[in-house]
Amino acid sequence: MKKLTLWILLLMALLFITGCDSGGAFRVINQTSYPLYVKVEEQDEVTIPGNTDYIFEIETDKESIFNPDVEKKVPVWMIGETFQIYDDYTETYTDSTTIIIKVNKTTNAYIQPNRASIKVVNNSNLWIAKIDIYKHNFIGVVNHYTIDPIAPHSFNFKNVDYVTPNNNFYYYVLVELEDGTRYQFGGENVILQKDEQFLVTVENPQ
């Protein structure tokens, strides 16, 4: 009887120990030269500077001998100043995906640059009302992009294509402030390689 009781106590202790394992981690390694903006589940958005990493701790169900191999699907929103998630199925860029988290395991994401970008920083006291980006192949405009209005002392950016040996082009940017003041930036010298950024800084009108 004592041996049976001892075995029951040992079994209960084992169940207690194995039933305490839960949670995993998601490590994002930013191998681009520019910031990466990441949001996991309902956690706050995190800015990961270029060539650094960040670990998100993820809660999961508890794993036990009755519930082994616990996994959790976790939504991830991610965009970088020179990176976008590419969906091979739809052959389009997106800003969200899903990862699998396992108990006591770390899921690693090595983020390598796959885009160039144009970043507009508004150092003025006025709203930037309109931003037009033009891609020019030295013959004519081949693409036109826009960026949403930017509040004073804020910024926004647009991921754009980079040049290749068989596809050469440049960018120029037209900016209009809320008072009607207009600026033009860029030109034939703004030829962006992968993981490069054209920075546009807007100051108060003179």
CATH number for region 116-202: 2.60.40.2890
Please state, in angstroms and rounded to a whole number, the distance separating the CA atoms of residues 194 and 90: 22
**What is 2-111's CATH topology?**
Immunoglobulin-like (2.60.40)
pTM: 0.85
User: pLDDT digits over 71-93, tens only?
Assistant: 888 999 999 999 999 999 899 99
Strand, coil or helix: 102: strand
User: pLDDT digits over 29-76, tens only?
Assistant: 999 999 999 999 889 999 999 999 999 998 876 765 555 667 888 999
Could you tell me the pLDDT band of residue 167, with boundaries at 50, 70 and 90?
very high
Please state, in angstroms and rounded to a whole number, the distance separating the CA atoms of residues 193 and 165: 10
Please state, in angstroms and rounded to a whole number, the distance separating the CA atoms of residues 197 and 33: 9
Fold match flag (2-111 vs 116-202) = yes
Please state, in angstroms and rounded to a whole number, the distance separating the CA atoms of residues 139 and 144: 15
Which residue, among 109, 97, 102, has the nearest Cα to 24 in the 3D structure?
102
User: pLDDT digits over 110-152, tens only?
Assistant: 999 999 999 999 999 999 999 999 999 999 999 999 999 999 9
Which residue ranges make up each domain of the chain?
2-111, 116-202
Average pLDDT, the chain: 89
Could you tell me the pLDDT band of residue 20, with boundaries at 50, 70 and 90?
low
Q: What integer pLDDT is reported at residue 48 of this predicted model? A: 98
